[in-house]
Amino acid sequence: MATAGALALTALGGTSYAATNDTGAHPETRTQTQAPQTDAQDVSDARIGITPGQGVHSLGVNDPVNVTVSDGRLTKVTMTAVATGTEVQGTLSADGTSWKANGPLKQATRYQVAAEAVDAKGRAATENATISTASPANDFLGHLSPENGSTVGVGMPVSFNFDKAIGDKAAMESRIQVSTSSGEQVVGHWLNNSRLDFRPEHYWKPGSTVTVDMSLDGVQKTVTFKIGRSQISTVDAKTKQMTVKRDGKTIKTIPISSGSAEHPTYNGQMVISEKYRKIHMNGATVGLTEKDGKPSYDIKAVPHAMRLTASGTFIHGNYWGGDSVFGKVNTSHGCVGLKDVRNAGNGKMPAAWFFDNSLTGDVVIVKNSADKATVAPDNGLSDWNMPWSQWVSGSASN
């Protein structure tokens, strides 16, 4: 068991989870897509690999970032700093089978790598990874979100994910102070032996600034982030409509399709933790395959996808559902689908509008789903599903 003195923490951005490799224990939501059966018949032979892999938190600024493909050629690779949108330049090999970033990278920065390829028959494949570089002095070992200097939604908790289980939780928690310019009481809660989150009783106040002060091993570090406008979106699985409220006023109502009766969507308060303009969703990564071993679905570029839980719930664009779906029938394996087009190419689509108008940290509430379970507080950034009295009792400082 690690002690407080042995801990080090990297103050980096965002919660990072495998985008298509969900292994949550809730079978109804592990598959999390509205998959057209026709896509399963046209799977690309191209296989993309990204090194380092998804979720690496302590990448050195001079460490290599490589993308390779087998049985195909790369057509596009982008590596972008999540907070600023700055693109990292890279070099594609002459034969199109590999790409490498032209370093060095920036310290304490979160990057998203997106790769596209085609096989010999022209069938497309995509892959994504989110990685983060270490802090300047490598003072700390672990992961903190959100990112220093970022602007997030009112639901974003301060989340510490330590690399090792913490033995003396009270000592560790005493070395971390979280405050807000709005004066709200902020309390820490240990969700497990290696995850400590902080939040107020209610959502953060819009426009406020949150300050995280850490004093570990004699090293002091401060991270600040700003709370943007309030955006709370409520998905009603019964009426199949999503109501988007900005600062308390309804700004849009969007027809949706949520989880089917066999695979209902979680009820409860969820928080957007990641955004992907396009993402690959493959049934084989969650154990869904046909008798011939092929994935039950393989959607190469699900558009405008935003992660809601660690177990795989997304709110995303759906280009394969007809007008008879949205607002009328629940068809998914647990995700919330909004009308869209292939390749995320039409900014007027409902999914595109919601993606462009959402921040990480925005709240999405699902109600009236057939699922009897409320999403667990530690499944993604779903902290708000825990009553305040229980939250406070989980602080080691009490």
Question: What region, left, alpha or beta, does residue 90 occupy, with left being phi > 0 and alpha being psi -120 to 50 degrees?
Answer: beta
Gap between the Cα atoms of 198 and 391, Å rounded: 9
H or E element at residue 170? helix 169-174
CB-CB contact of 157 with 82 (8 Å): no
Gap between the Cα atoms of 117 and 279, Å rounded: 13
| One-letter amino acid for residue 269 of the chain | Q
- Token pair of 221 as six digits: 């570090």
End-to-end alpha carbon distance in the chain: 21
CB-CB contact of 158 with 224 (8 Å): no
> Quick one: which of 304, 313, 298 has its CA closest to 276?
304
CB-CB contact of 225 with 252 (8 Å): no
Please state, in angstroms and as integers, the Cα–Cα distance from residue 340 to each residue in 3, 106, 243, following that order. Answer: 49, 35, 18
- Token pair of 168 as six digits: 């003396």
Residue 26 catalytic? no
State the pairing for strand pair 363-367/231-236: parallel
> Quick one: which of 281, 367, 272, 268 has its CA closest to 31?
281
Strand partners, 303: 278
Residue 143 catalytic? no
Number of other CB atoms surrounding residue 228 within 10 Å: 19
CA 318 from centroid of its chain's CA atoms: 18
> Quick one: which of 183, 164, 190, 179 has its CA closest to 214?
179
Which residue, chain included where needed, has tokens 């462009």? 356
The active-site residue, picked from 143, 304, 316, 333, is 316
> Quick one: which of 313, 350, 318, 316 has its CA closest to 333?
313
> Quick one: which of 358, 236, 375 has its CA closest to 310?
375
Strand partners, 210: 180, 225
Angle among Cα 194, 279, 78 to the nearest 5 degrees reads 95
Active site amino acids: 316, 335
